[in-house]
Amino acid sequence: MKHPGEKALRKDVIATALKMSQSGLSPGRSGNVSCRFESGMLITPTGKRYEDTEPDDIVFVAGDGSVPEGQLQPSSEWHFHLATYHARPDRHAVVHTHSMHATVLACARRPIPPFHYMIGAVGGKDIPCVPYATFGTEELARHVATGLGECDACLMANHGQIVCGASLAYALELAFEVEVLAEQYYKLLVLGEVHLLDDAEMLRISERFKAYGRNAERNQKRR
């Protein structure tokens, strides 16, 4: 018997993936979405258009990486989604996109430094860029788990961006914010002059964002 809230979560995963795709944050079938569920997670299937995805198509992957029989195949990136949940027990949703400017910086293997106070929204002093590994591999999953160990967003070299959040809605919002910051930083690089905030200021900003994040999470729960 399915968990009473499972169908709603499956619908939320689809709705989040549709918003991600239709907004242009991750064009076509690129990107993937998951949420924590029981001992594992619910994740978008591989190779299926989000517009054609039904709640029963969303795949349950157990905490040990096993997939019960009778389901579609999960996204090829399920390894780094699961690794994120293991590394971050305080986070319950993961959104991965190939958004334009974040992907440009990822392909240049450039982290996003603290040029703007909104970098603090990810919970760290910058948005790191983790090393390259082939997509869908455990090696990439290990890199992502390290990158998201102390902050909620990172770039993946020659790939794209990934974020984690307390909810699907909050994770998607953060993915949009990362793309905005990536575009702003890219344009600063074109100008050739970037002024960075120091570690002490970023620590103060991160503390302020902790309170902001708690309020945002409460608002999400009321909806």
Which residues are known to be catalytic? 77
DSSP for 82-143, written as a single string: HHHHHH-TT--EEEEE--HHHHHHHHTT--B-SSSGGGGGGTSSSB-EEPP--TTSHHHHHH
Is residue 125 a contact partner of residue 192, using CB atoms and an 8 Å limit? no
∠13-19-20 over CA atoms, to 5°? 85
How far is it, in rounded angstroms, from Cα 69 to Cα 57? 13
Q: Radius of gyration of the chain from Cα atoms?
A: 17
**Is 24 buried (19+), middle (13-18) or exposed (0-12) by CB count in 10 A?**
exposed
Residue labelled with tokens 């703007």: 116
Determine if residue 158 is left, alpha or beta; phi over 0 gives left, psi from -120 to 50 gives alpha, anything else beta.
Answer: left
CA distances from 113 to 129, 182, 197 (A): 10, 10, 9
